[in-house]
Chain A
């Protein structure tokens, strides 16, 4: 790591530190932090929102109990899924198809539809080979927006569950309003500006199928090269801001037309992280206690820093297997060195390790280098961060949700130790809530390990690389699906019927089997009175509590996944 690389990390920290607080404050205003309910930009967005409510026949003033809120969310996701599935199946007959793509297979389309509706953006296909411009622009990009909008709705509903006290009707707000406001007031304006910034740096944004160039060295084997086209920038902007991560092109953010230079690289990393961190600030404002958000934010940052550092150093040190093969992997004035297989020269290993941390700490999953070619430890770092449950800082809404669930588990364990009924933010945490917490905590590991084990046992369904690396691939890819991440150890062919179906189911579990218990907990909390804090109350804004949450996450993840990791990346590292 050179001093310039350190400066790059520092600049990312500064960019986030400057933008996160105002954005968090803005989001809080969008979700009603002001006494009169007004928000900046009402004059612009108000009419648009009201016409959307009119079109959808939604009564914006009508509040929903947690179960109706969850049902609205499920109905919206189901309709989205069917709509996208139909579009992908029919894309060969739909308009705006300059690259002449055919319809997608039934299980393939199921997988893609689930993937984009659940904010995962797992891609078994290659964007430029399988998708028409119509499907990308009118299908996938729309889900990039609204699946993130659903994430906003989830977290504000949970916050209302905490702040509403003995609420007679136990309502959590209106799903349609929360989803629409997040999409229209936060994601749309940010994406619009960001897309134009990306174009100015070289990201393509046109409606053509590309330009055929006559290459300079005709003796090189090919005389022509397709310079691809399409509405890429508008999709890439929301793909990063919405913690989606699905690339317009197969190579994702390693592609020069998705991420052309060092400047776009840092801006895209900023875009991946800014909203999930801003939501932590929003949380503090809405519950009226910013100390809580500082502590939660610190826990997130700690995990993110450790994992990113691990990936940066592992990749920067290069691949030990190349040392005896006459390859120079050292850092010098004329090369950046390190493990360069699967990495772009303009980014080098440091910006790749940092990105790997950011993309798996959130549920983004876009990649600027190929994780499958990482060194064993470099590849384990992002894998483990997904296994934490993506809480550092996590996907829009669902990341903070995950950390709050872990906080409930932490107060519960602390309560057991001293023999008191646990409380969190003034609400008693009792048997009903803890049952839902348990469901939440178990869903992801069961789906991850269950599907991974089944895939390994049913060997015929599996194509992966020899040795422990093959198991790493299966583990990584199910960790990605169940955590709605979307990044991949991409050597493994996951376009088969077995994988499109099992990964699709894994993504559904990872989305809805977590969101629904969490909304259930919020509904239960909304009906409870606030208990005044006493000397015996465990304060939840202190470093001690931060250690407790971090410990809970580490212990749960370690106990669950260590045996599998030992047979995958750890064994591979030891066989170097």
Chain B
């Protein structure tokens, strides 16, 4: 016991010293260098339009109007809540989960004018891990292209070209999976109207 008490002093001093070194100096120096060298990324890769911040290119956001591509279902708060990232965490056989899959499949088909024989891409009806997934699969985007084109009164081929142009490929050709960044694609669509 006496040995234990004798070790408490170095323990307390070590915690104080480490807190200064690792809890103050290390993160602040890192922040300083990060802000100078990679300022945009360090602040959240923000996207601006007309002087206004409209989001982050890394964080998905909600879209429900027919003229926009729609993101995946989200379990973050009420949906794409940036202050409450979360997955649904529902098990693979959970009846609530399976019921919501049925609803989403039906809604997706109805929205996009697909008949019952068309299988819906899995990402379109499942919630992501973070609830902030910025991407949808290319298959999902291609099925939505007709609706988006119709709502905007533009050619489907124009929309498909934009989808193609907004695919984030695999890093180094092999890391991760390719997908379409929904926010950037939708902004590109809006820019098209402004330009046209």
Contact = CB atoms under 8 A, between A and B. Distances in A.
Is chain B a partner of chain A in the same complex?
A: yes
Interface of A: 4-5, 7-8, 11, 52, 55-58, 67-68, 71-72, 74-76, 78-80, 83, 126, 128-129, 137-139, 141-142, 145-146, 176, 179-180, 183, 188, 191-192, 195-196, 199-208, 210-217, 219-222, 225-229, 231, 233-235, 249-251, 254-257, 260-263, 265-266, 318-319, 321-322, 325-329, 332-348, 351, 367-370, 372-376, 465-467, 469, 472, 489-491, 572, 575-576
A15 B123 CA distance: 31
B17 A251 contact: no
Given A216-B55, A341-B126, 16 more contacts: A141-B22, A202-B41, A205-B34, A208-B43, A220-B64, A222-B81, A251-B86, A254-B129, A257-B58, A319-B92, A322-B98, A327-B122, A333-B138, A335-B121, A346-B135, A373-B91
Interface string B3-27: 1100111111111111101111011
B142 A342 contact: no
B183 interface: yes
B63 A220 contact: yes
B111 interface: no
B23 A137 contact: yes
A367 B71 CA distance: 22
Contacts of A332: 139
Nearest to B41: A202
B153 interface: no
- Interface size class on chain B is 35 or more
B46 interface: yes
Interface of B: 3-4, 7-19, 21-24, 26-27, 29-31, 33-35, 37-38, 41-46, 49, 52-56, 58-65, 68, 72, 76, 78-95, 97-98, 101-102, 105, 109, 116, 118-123, 125-140, 142, 168, 170-179, 183, 186-187, 190
B119 A327 contact: yes
Contacts of B27: 137, 141, 231, 234-235
A200 B37 contact: yes
A341 B127 contact: yes
B65 A341 contact: no
B23 A322 contact: no
A287 B116 CA distance: 67
The prevalent SS among residues of A at the interface is mixed
A249 B59 CA distance: 13
A111 B120 CA distance: 43
Nearest to B32: A205
Contacts of B59: 225, 227, 256-257
Contacts of B134: 256, 346
Contacts, number: 420
A326 B119 contact: yes
A393 B101 CA distance: 38
8 contacts: A179-B14, A213-B53, A222-B78, A225-B55, A225-B82, A228-B82, A262-B175, A327-B105
Contacts of A337: 122
B30 A196 contact: yes
Contacts of B64: 217, 219-221
Nearest to B125: A327
A247 B100 CA distance: 28
B14 to A, nearest CB: 5
Nearest to B100: A341
Contact of A78 (B11, B55, B138): B11
Contacts of B175: 8, 11, 261-263, 265-266, 351
B8 A75 contact: yes
Contacts of B65: 217, 219-220
A76 B137 CA distance: 49
Contacts of A126: 84-86
Contacts of A199: 30, 34, 37-38, 41-42
Given A52-B14, A78-B11, A341-B88, A465 B63 contact: no
B78 A221 contact: yes
Contacts of A231: 27, 30-31
A205 B43 CA distance: 7
B92 A204 contact: no
B125 A465 contact: no
B28 to A, nearest CB: 8
Contacts of B91: 372-373, 465, 467, 469, 472, 491, 572
Nearest to A10: B174
Contact of B86 (A214, A229, A250, A489): A250
B23 A192 contact: no
A229 B22 contact: no
B66 to A, nearest CB: 10
A367 B129 contact: yes
A493 to B, nearest CB: 10
Contacts of B172: 11, 262-263
A182 to B, nearest CB: 12
B183 A345 contact: no
A325 B102 contact: yes
B177 A336 contact: yes
Contacts of B176: 8, 261-263, 265, 346-348, 351
B27 to A, nearest CB: 4
Contacts of B58: 202, 256-257, 260
Contacts of A262: 170-172, 175-177
A327 B101 contact: yes
**Residue with the highest number of chain A CB atoms closer than 10 Å, among B14, B21, B35, B98:** B14
Contact of A217 (B4, B30, B62, B122): B62
A256 B76 CA distance: 13
Give 9 closest A-B pairs by Cβ, nearest first. Answer: A262-B176, A262-B175, A254-B129, A328-B119, A348-B177, A491-B89, A251-B130, A370-B87, A75-B7
